Structure 1
Amino acid sequence: MTSVDFLPWMRLGLAAGIGQGAPTGPVATVRPSIDVLADGVVRDTVPGPEVRLRGPGDVIALDPRQIRRRDPAAGSTGAETNYFCAVEFFAPDLPWRYTPTPVDADGHLAPWLVLVVVETGPEAGAQVRTGQARLPVLSVDTPARQLPDLADSWAWAHVQVTTQVDGDVAGTYARDPDAFSARLVCPRRLEPGARYTACLVPAFESGRLAGLGLDAPASLEPAWGTRAVDLPVYDSWEFVAGDAFDFASLARLIRPAQLPAGVGLRDLDLTDPGPGLPAVRSAVTFAGALHAPSGRLTYWSDPTDEKAFEDAVRTRVTATPAAGDEGGSGYDPLIDDPVVAPPVYGAPQVGTRALPDSTTRPGWFEDLNVSPQHRAVAGIGTQVVRMDQESLVAAAWDQARVAVEVNRTLNRGRLAQESARQAQAKWDRLDDAAAVCIGAPALNRIRVGASTAAALVAGGDAPTAYFGAAFRRLGRPGGPLSTRATVPAAQSPATAIVRAAFESATAGPGRQQQSPLSTGYRARSLPPGMDVGVRLPGQVSAPAAGPLRRSAAPSGGAAPSGGAAPATPIEYSGGLLDLHLPPYQSPFVRAVDYGRTPTTGPGQGQLGVDLAAAVAGAVRPADAVAAAVRGAVTMPAGVWTPAGIPTRVQLRPRFTDPMYERVRALSVDYLVPGAATVPDNSVGLLEANPAYVEAVLVGLNHELSRELRWREYPAALGQTWFQRFWDSTDPDGVDIPPIRDWGLDAALGRTAGGGTRPGLVVLIRAQLIRRFPDVRVYAVPARWQGATRVPDENAQPLGPSFVGTLVRGTNFYGFMQLTEQAARGDDGGAGWFFVLEEEPHATRFGLERGLPRDRGENPASWTDLSWFNLAEARGEAPWFCTIDTVDRIETARLDGLRWGRDAAVMAAITLRRPIQIFLHASAMLPDAGGTHA
């Protein structure tokens, strides 16, 4: 099974029957037949009439949507000269769909259209004209120089299949038609710098005439010979060939090199360090972000100079305002000159300017602020912020917009919650009847056990209209009932009716409740013969009297038995009805259960639910506001409390761009001093310097904290704004953890938990990078094959941790998992290879350009076949690759593939695979003793 298979041709539909028992010639005809099946077995075959198929003379245009890909792309100005020009189609049978001829005895089938590439220009003798025919017209004066031999057209058209075929082409196509595509190739040699036009043109004379709008008699003659010719153009595009160097030729120029020891290192001049600091002559090395493994880092050749210098720096950076007051009367900022001390890098993140005592074991905070080589690096970070301060602050404010909206939502929520708490106090003072009446709109959202409060009301004896909006409007203060009912001013008539029902249900035996609505109403009788009342249950137990939610336990009174109790009228005058409510037996008793168990008995209800308590407990405005805000704002876990709303969120802008690019913008020598001394067309290894990365990021974060404070940015200024220095291949990767988590005892360069040895970085400075900047670089372990190291083909490749560019043509690739010892093989292994590989693109075909000394020589494999291999012993490379050009060299069955067998084999032979270069680390590193090998 292979990832890509090639087929020499493909025909679908009736065209698949051309040449199978039917006459052939200038016009293709087929005689289809129908199989008669019985129980899945062919019992008979019924021949059909002879059908004439359309041929090349019937084609007058080509839909451009059929074209899947053009190579090189239209408008390209640097097309590689070792590749053939090609065009792909979505329909896998399109190149042979209108071919009138059958497959010949060798399995070859010529396409009805071909791809030609002509050089255009004043002296080229070829040009494309428009406006004189239905299609653009390609006029060629010398076909032998510009056009391929049509006798070989079958060799340069094939089908590509990107799935497993296993011999069943028809079944595979039926299952996965998208895996099939057709391709036409023009086997022309391109000259560097020349301008070309690629054209799709007919291969038969009948197609040529039809495309030109002329009479097209049926003919199998080729579209051109040796004379000048006009060809209709179905599709065309232009491109310019690049220089003569392709990936393979440029890759062969690269050599592994042990980089100069001074790459990445510079000596600091401390003979005049500034006021208040002693002049010293000890050598101190400034190490860049990357440096040569063989370089020597010198830190204070004289310990006396080191102590004197660092003590002076400590005194300067910890200076206080009072130190500027010579009179000793205290520092007055309005009178005295300010004392501006040098920055204590990292102080906003650590939370103090006080440096540890010099007698203690130094950590990163002290080392960064008193050692000149590290203070210089942190100062580079501050320069980056000063250079980009406007854009950085603008980006911080852009990120703050979301936080500002969140804080606005939180503030509104807290205001609404405070107002809700005031309403909650009034709600808590309501009795049961008023609470149920006011909370009625929420009954269907209040869970009571496995049901809802609304379901309990609907299942009780109380009319559900008591809980409806219409009833509340009727009994609202100032409404129709309010003008007639005698109720307290603080109550609504609707609440009074509900309370009357509650009170009647809780009255003791022998007591009668008078409705508050009865007083003050003028009695009105129903018309004769009409009586409207409430149908009551048979016998209902009632709880003890008193406030319903405050009753500790039911008492023993029971309602009379034996049917409905005598009705004592509770009257109101609302027009045409009298309402009769019996004492002790309220219709709410069934809907509102004040008992605590689901059993019935003296003083117990039947539902086992305190509806009023459920409503009062569920309707809590403050909690509802908190829930609404919680649904609108996503917070980290643990921030929300059940009813609380956070006061505000802190603004935490993050800058995820790799900061090495900003340091490089200041100067490449700030990043890798001496990078210009690296030889051209060389590959070498550098070591990463984590102390540099941490120092420059501390300087960046320190200076941005100061800048945001100056701009009054609303954020905690001790945050770590920058955590990425390299352009990591992990989109979520960071180079340092938050600075506040480092710990003051950690050593600079080890705060991020790195290993004891720095990782390796591949540095490439070459023409290959300038021409192909997307080259792939990775590492593979080596294994011993006798006394030779070879790549371990069974091992998993290792990709880079980060990638970057110093200048055009100089790239670096970080492998932080590999140390110098492991890459060289000092641990007893075979070490590691670093691989440079051409970036895989879409399937492409071509020949190597080769050298004149290759004329007439046999290539080692088809992969090495070059244009000069096709030349005569003293001749020039041919313009076109033809089938007979290889006959003169002994390559008939090279690599198991016979040249000219069919189009599929020609595609496999000319297929260009990505170039790989393997370079062992030992060739780019000094030996284990520290000297160059």
Structure 2
Amino acid sequence: MADIDAVAKHVVAPLAATVTGTKLVRDAWKLDLSPDEEYVESEVALEQLQFAASALGGLGAAAVPPAAGAIRSTSTITVPLADSAGGSESASLTVTLYGPGDVRALDGAQVIRRYPAPGATTAEETVLAHIEFDRPELPWAFSPAAAAGALVRPWLALVVVPRELVEWEPIPPGAFLPVLQAPLDQLPDLAQSHLWAHAQASRNVAADKPLEVRLSPAHAPINLSRIISPRVLRDSTAYVAALVPTTDAGVRGGLGLTGGTLDPAWGPGSDDPVRLPAFDRWEFTTGPDGDFKELALRLQGVVAPYQVGRRFIDASIPGRPLRALATDEPGGKQVLRCALFSPTPPSAEQAVAETATWPDALTEDLREELDRPGVIERAAAGDGQAPAIPDLPIVGPRIYAKLQRGVASVAGDEDADWFAELNLRPAARIVAGLGTRVVQKDQEPLMQSAWAQLGEVEAANRAIALAQLAELLASRLHARVDALAIDRLVQVAAPMSTRITLAAGTTLSAAVDRSATPATVKLGAFRRVTRPGGPLVRRADVATQRRAGRLVADATGLRDFTRVYANPEGVAAISAEVLRTFDRTAVAKALDLSPDAVLAQLELATSKLELGGLASHLTRPERWGAIDTTFEPGRVFTERWGDRLLRRSTIPALEAVRAERLGPVIAGLGLSKTAAGTHIGTRLQDAAVRINDGLIDRLGPILHPGGPGGGPVRPRDPVRPRGHGGGPVRPGGPVGPVHHGGLPGRVEPGRPVAREPGRIDFDGIDVRPDRLLRQGVRIDVGVLTKIGQVQGRERIEAIGKLGAHADRKLAPVVESIGGIQLVEVREAMTELVDPGGLLQIMPVPHRDRLSVTSAQLTAALDPRVTVRQSLEGRIRLSDRLAERWRLKPFIAPIMAAPRFDRPMYRALDDYDRDWLVPGLGLLPDSDFVTVLSTNDEFMEAFLVGLSDEFGHELLWRGYPTDRRGTYFHRFWSPQHDEVLAPIHAFPRTRLGRHVAVGGVAAPDDGDDRLGRAVIVVRSELVRRFPDLVIQAIRNQGTPQEPVFEAPGSPQQTASVLFAEHLEPDIAVVGVDLSVEELDGPGWWIVIAEHPSATRFELPDGEEAAPNSPDHLGSTKPNGAAFALDRLHHPTRVAFEATDLIVTGA
């Protein structure tokens, strides 16, 4: 039996037969890929690995071998227990684990790599096929447990069989897997299956952790498992690889059947062919004889001839209207350097064509032809004469990038200005024309991408077009409004007054509301009624008709319509003059006063008029009513509430509840000051005594642990902890519920109680007596005192203990009511029925005249403002674009410029490789390494030609653009822009100074910018291993004994600007070195295998298995040792750079 604690401490079982293998650190070299790839140059070195013969976790680590005839392992788990009396015991449970016959399919997500890759056509025949899994324990997860000291054999194996010998059956009913039929002699000997599987973990991460920890799920990113096929591959052969079970039970389970044994799935006595379910499968084909090492050794370092990368053009007959060059005139034969060209210097004869240019006169003729359309257009505009056909353009030779430059003619020196050089040099014009041809060839996919980038620009431009129409129409109406006077202008603008913003963000409507101008005057109805020719004004006299036009405004602006109103006599006050006019005899009779006292009484009343309560001032006290000094509001409320509380219920259950809930309230009210000495107070105290004693008799006190009891505890009242607790409880102890039959007045030990039995702590905790409360009872009767016939102070104190339990205390309320004075009540009531100033007219506030001018309103109504503000609320633009858009004198559509990040060398290579790097066929060897140079002038001219032509294509397709954009930014690099600035922002410098290979600007060397060195490899090695790594590394040793990395001196590698593969067998790698720098001392060209994945290889001398000549045998003790022995170390080959370059004569 296994202890559960022992199993829990080891998620992965200790590996007794563990072998560690490390890739040699001396072979580590930096990768040179883009940051977007899996590896980053100068940050990734070869990984240090550790292999394990097997990996088991959980209950599988504690399993025992199956009994005789069984096919499943078992595991017995022991759990320690403790009882309430302090004793200990253990409980055991035997569980049966899944076996190989229980698996019906495998989750495809568990397979993380297959090698050789599925569908590969040139796989190496010197490697071993294998499959990798995400879970490190998967190859042994369903294997039967092995005896002590024995190796666990995997329940899966990888078989590789020639495709011509394989047949596939349909998936059987009730199964999920295809069935493989393979000849018995093509399958490996399962006696060595323990060598074919191993687990792997990295040492680069969590190196301080033991291997079993790094194989656990906590370190899943750095661990995996792998099954290797021992098949010896042959060259130029198609194979099928299949993941199959290794036991008879596993085969039956994969076929959807039950039963079976743990015998091998095949052996000498098995049926031929063998039927096996395939949990995973793929196909691949090996290539011709030769692995990476053998193919790399075939490479020859060569110097590229001068002709490589150059095209020789005949520029002597440019075509009409330009004249042809004479035979002896220079510039007839010229050399065009392509994107990559040989740094080998020309011979004396070749040097003439290398630097040849047209005569100045012919160049000026070309300039004149380019400028002619612009000259004609300017002449027509200067004469004021329109062309005969206005929409017919004047066509001439193309001026590349004229829209980006913003000119219609070619000016400047071709030796100092890129624009003149691009358009006047024949070679540069040819390269720009290549960009035109490439765009025409790829126009459909380019436009598809451009439309996809447009987004909501089309919808925005539709809104802009409607806004343009609205602005045009509104401008016509605005011209008529501009002549109106301010009063008519305010009335016309009334419907928009809530949207017209004046100074300080105030709308016209809000300004009118706060001014002395009433809102009515801006309404259309008021304007129609008061118009000079209206029906109302026509009926007025002549003077009034003349003033009708100035009703709302005069020469100084809008009028002040404020009218001040005064309160009539008797509303807010009565003046002395009016009082003297009263008939004193009549008033005296009404007020029951003497005539002499009338005036004084009226003056007193009018002085109190604004304060309210006029009735109390005009009436004698005896008529209002004398104040009853014996009236006490507090006693009145006590009597009313007391009567209500003392009403008893006829229902016993309800009366019991009332006793608990209202008993404390009755006790508190009976002891209040307002009840003292009253009949209701005596009744309340008697009721409190009755309720108090009844609660004690009915419920009895709560018994605290270990304390004396005042009465029996009923079994139906369980004890529970109060609060949010409810955790562990110590076994035993004086804790209820208490059963009858114990000693009177004591608490018997009871059984432990816990709200959550799953959380019982068998070590126990102390019980807190102050946290116990009987469930369902609101009052702790243990603190009450039975009163009975007790009188005096003890009686009052006992009633007070009951009153302390009241949730709502009435005594403070009624006592505060008792302090209210009746005089205050009378005055408040008179104020309520006769408030002061009820009929008083509010004072008229002072308001300023509306300060708005015709110019302000006219400007606010300008369509150039209103329409654009409305449009800005409907479309969202970036801050930079919005600012430029607002500054335009008219509403203009948004111009879009699509962007393409594809390296355009690929498009040029698809169009014609001889324009990218011509002449590679001149090299004598088919497997070679050489060095070429980049051409910045070619790259810039080509990219400018692309953007120029694509602008025309966008216009033709109706794309919203001004054709001034820079649409293509990259020639070589997939990650970095190589155009240093937009074309329209190019400074007036030489062609080629506005681009940088890989986005890294090269240093200037006088008039010429040094090109970057490009390593070119053409070989079968590139075709079969397209992921090979090519670098320029500085030698730290001697030419005879090169050293690329030494202790304390890390490897010095040139930065890679781009690395591309030209189908089918050419690799080009640009480095951040000029050809001259690479030709200096110490630089070597290194070509190496990509170390991205672990591989396994055949030994130098094939060691065949005893019973299977097509499979590899081994005497290694376990899978970890076998994997370490067959681990493949990357190969690299180096060439001294000076042997590949000739820069001098």
TM over 0.5: yes
| Corresponding position of 1:845 | 1095
Question: Relative to structure 1, is the Cα distance of residues 629 and 877 closer, same or farther in structure 2, using a 3 angstrom cutoff?
Answer: farther
Give the SS at the match of 1:906.
helix
Shift of 1:10: 2.0
1:776–1:839 contact (8 Å) kept in structure 2: yes
| Corresponding position of 2:305 | 260
- The counterpart of 2:1015, out of the listed 755, 762, 771, is 762
* Letter matched to residue 48 of structure 1: S
Q: 2-side partners of 1:339 and 1:415: how far apart?
A: 31
Q: 1-side partners of 2:1038 and 2:504: how far apart?
A: 78
- The counterpart of 1:278, out of the listed 325, 330, 351, is 325
Question: Relative to structure 1, is the Cα distance of residues 62 and 405 closer, same or farther in structure 2, using a 3 angstrom cutoff?
Answer: closer
Shift of 1:687: 0.9
| Corresponding position of 2:917 | 672
User: Does 2:1138 correspond to 1:907?
Assistant: no
| Corresponding position of 1:812 | 1068
Q: 1-side partners of 2:485 and 2:228: how far apart?
A: 87
Question: Relative to structure 1, is the Cα distance of residues 909 and 3 closer, same or farther in structure 2, using a 3 angstrom cutoff?
Answer: same
- The counterpart of 1:149, out of the listed 179, 189, 199, is 189
- The counterpart of 1:879, out of the listed 1096, 1102, 1110, is 1110
User: Does 2:480 correspond to 1:227?
Assistant: no
Give the SS at the match of 1:405.
helix
Question: Relative to structure 1, is the Cα distance of residues 265 and 131 closer, same or farther in structure 2, using a 3 angstrom cutoff?
Answer: closer
Q: 1-side partners of 2:169 and 2:945: how far apart?
A: 64
Shift of 1:765: 1.2
Question: Relative to structure 1, is the Cα distance of residues 667 and 504 closer, same or farther in structure 2, using a 3 angstrom cutoff?
Answer: closer
Q: 2-side partners of 1:301 and 1:402: how far apart?
A: 55
Q: 1-side partners of 2:933 and 2:898: how far apart?
A: 32
- The counterpart of 1:682, out of the listed 902, 912, 928, is 928
* Letter matched to residue 364 of structure 1: W
Deviations 1:38-96 (A, max 9, x none): 9xxx9977251444444335556556565454444555544443333333344433322
Shift of 1:187: 1.6
**Identity percentage of aligned residues:** 26
**Stretch moving more, 190-199 or 434-443:** 434-443
2:901–2:974 contact (8 Å) kept in structure 1: no
Q: 2-side partners of 1:876 and 1:90: how far apart?
A: 32
Shift of 1:292: 0.8
| Corresponding position of 1:802 | 1058
Q: 1-side partners of 2:448 and 2:182: how far apart?
A: 61
| Corresponding position of 1:88 | 132
User: Does 2:1126 correspond to 1:870?
Assistant: no
Deviations 1:822-845 (A, max 9, x none): 22335xxx33x444343455x443
Q: 2-side partners of 1:584 and 1:564: how far apart?
A: 16
Question: Relative to structure 1, is the Cα distance of residues 277 and 227 closer, same or farther in structure 2, using a 3 angstrom cutoff?
Answer: same
| Corresponding position of 2:877 | 634
Q: 2-side partners of 1:96 and 1:761: how far apart?
A: 50
- Using CA pairs under 8 Å that are at least 6 residues apart, name the structure with larger relative contact order, 1 or 2: 2
Shift of 1:633: 2.7
Q: 1-side partners of 2:136 and 2:241: how far apart?
A: 21
Give the SS at the match of 2:462.
helix
Question: Relative to structure 1, is the Cα distance of residues 21 and 771 closer, same or farther in structure 2, using a 3 angstrom cutoff?
Answer: closer
1:195–1:238 contact (8 Å) kept in structure 2: no
Gaps of 5+ in 1: 461-465, 479-485, 489-495, 497-502, 513-559, 566-579, 596-602, 604-609, 611-615, 849-864, 885-899
Shift of 1:270: 4.8
| Corresponding position of 2:459 | 405
Give the SS at the match of 2:216.
helix
Q: 2-side partners of 1:153 and 1:307: how far apart?
A: 75
1:5–1:161 contact (8 Å) kept in structure 2: yes
| Corresponding position of 2:29 | none
* Letter matched to residue 1126 of structure 2: T
Deviations 1:626-650 (A, max 9, x none): 5553352314253255999843333
Deviations 1:281-338 (A, max 9, x none): 55532222211111328899789x978733123224414769999xxxx999989xx9
1:655–1:721 contact (8 Å) kept in structure 2: no
2:334–2:356 contact (8 Å) kept in structure 1: no
Question: Relative to structure 1, is the Cα distance of residues 922 and 27 closer, same or farther in structure 2, using a 3 angstrom cutoff?
Answer: same
Q: 1-side partners of 2:447 and 2:456: how far apart?
A: 15
Q: 2-side partners of 1:202 and 1:383: how far apart?
A: 59
Shift of 1:760: 0.9
CA RMSD in angstroms comes to: 5.9
| Corresponding position of 2:54 | 9
- The counterpart of 2:1137, out of the listed 921, 928, 932, is 921
Deviations 1:132-184 (A, max 9, x none): 78565545543xx3222222212212223355371163586253456544332
Question: Relative to structure 1, is the Cα distance of residues 288 and 9 closer, same or farther in structure 2, using a 3 angstrom cutoff?
Answer: same
Q: Which has the higher helix share?
A: 2
Shift of 1:812: 1.9
Give the SS at the match of 1:48.
strand
Question: Relative to structure 1, is the Cα distance of residues 78 and 36 closer, same or farther in structure 2, using a 3 angstrom cutoff?
Answer: farther
Shift of 1:7: 2.7
2:66–2:74 contact (8 Å) kept in structure 1: no
Q: 1-side partners of 2:294 and 2:87: how far apart?
A: 64
Q: 1-side partners of 2:444 and 2:189: how far apart?
A: 65
| Corresponding position of 2:992 | 749
| Corresponding position of 2:822 | none
- The counterpart of 1:836, out of the listed 1087, 1091, 1094, is 1087
Q: How many residues align?
A: 758
| Corresponding position of 1:183 | 226
Deviations 1:208-259 (A, max 9, x none): 4565677746x55433322333444142424132213443332332232221
Question: Relative to structure 1, is the Cα distance of residues 645 and 406 closer, same or farther in structure 2, using a 3 angstrom cutoff?
Answer: farther
2:432–2:946 contact (8 Å) kept in structure 1: yes
Question: Relative to structure 1, is the Cα distance of residues 680 and 345 closer, same or farther in structure 2, using a 3 angstrom cutoff?
Answer: same
* Letter matched to residue 252 of structure 1: L
Shift of 1:385: 5.0
Deviations 1:362-396 (A, max 9, x none): 54344444444434434444444555667767876
2:133–2:226 contact (8 Å) kept in structure 1: yes
| Corresponding position of 2:156 | 113
TM-score by length of 2: 0.55
Q: 2-side partners of 1:214 and 1:386: how far apart?
A: 63
Question: Relative to structure 1, is the Cα distance of residues 821 and 131 closer, same or farther in structure 2, using a 3 angstrom cutoff?
Answer: closer
Question: Relative to structure 1, is the Cα distance of residues 295 and 22 closer, same or farther in structure 2, using a 3 angstrom cutoff?
Answer: same
- The counterpart of 1:823, out of the listed 1068, 1078, 1081, is 1078
| Corresponding position of 1:353 | 409
Question: Relative to structure 1, is the Cα distance of residues 806 and 906 closer, same or farther in structure 2, using a 3 angstrom cutoff?
Answer: closer
1:413–1:625 contact (8 Å) kept in structure 2: yes
Question: Relative to structure 1, is the Cα distance of residues 87 and 650 closer, same or farther in structure 2, using a 3 angstrom cutoff?
Answer: closer
Alignment map for 1:311-322 (pairs within 5 Å): 311-319=361-369
2:119–2:284 contact (8 Å) kept in structure 1: yes
* Letter matched to residue 880 of structure 1: H
Question: Relative to structure 1, is the Cα distance of residues 35 and 584 closer, same or farther in structure 2, using a 3 angstrom cutoff?
Answer: same
Q: 2-side partners of 1:306 and 1:73: how far apart?
A: 53
Q: Considering only CA atoms, is the larger Rg found in Structure 1 or Structure 2?
A: 2
1:264–1:291 contact (8 Å) kept in structure 2: yes
Give the SS at the match of 1:100.
coil
Alignment map for 1:10-49 (pairs within 5 Å): 10-19=55-64, 28-35=73-80, 46-49=90-93
Shift of 1:662: 4.2
Q: 1-side partners of 2:342 and 2:1017: how far apart?
A: 13
Alignment map for 1:610-629 (pairs within 5 Å): 626=868, 629=871
**Stretch moving more, 278-287 or 634-643:** 634-643
1:78–1:242 contact (8 Å) kept in structure 2: yes
Q: 1-side partners of 2:448 and 2:179: how far apart?
A: 57
